[in-house]
Amino acid sequence: SSGINAEYGDFMTDPRARRRYWARNYIGFPVFISKEPNICHQVITEMESSGKAGWLITQNVDRLHQKAGSKQVTELHGTTNIVECRNCHYVTSGNLSRVTSKLTTLTSWLR
């Protein structure tokens, strides 16, 4: 895939695609995780809390609905909240800062 988004097949089979993906995300994670829910996220949370909305299905992977307090969320395109190493199967979840920290450790030889 020549686009900016990693296709699953490319990501799983092409080390270059994985390097591009992680390099881009390594740079973008600090900005990505600093984002806060907006009024729309908050209104949806209020609707859920009051019983006016059931299960939320979103294409977003930013977890802003959860940050706003929504509990019943399905993320169609996956999540940035859970990352698993393909080699050792180490899993980190709940905090992209941990992923960034781990990437810094693992790529220190690049500097």
Find the catalytic residue in 41, 65, 77, 89: 77
Is 77 an annotated catalytic residue?
yes
Question: SS in 3 state form for the chain?
Answer: CCCCCCCHHHHHHCHHHHHHHHHHHHHHHHHHHHCCCCHHHHHHHHHHHCCCCCCEEECCCCCHHHHHCCCCEEECCCCCCEEECCCCCCEEECCHHHHHHHHHHHCHHHC
CB of 92 closer than 8 Å to CB of 98: yes
Q: What residues act catalytically?
A: 77
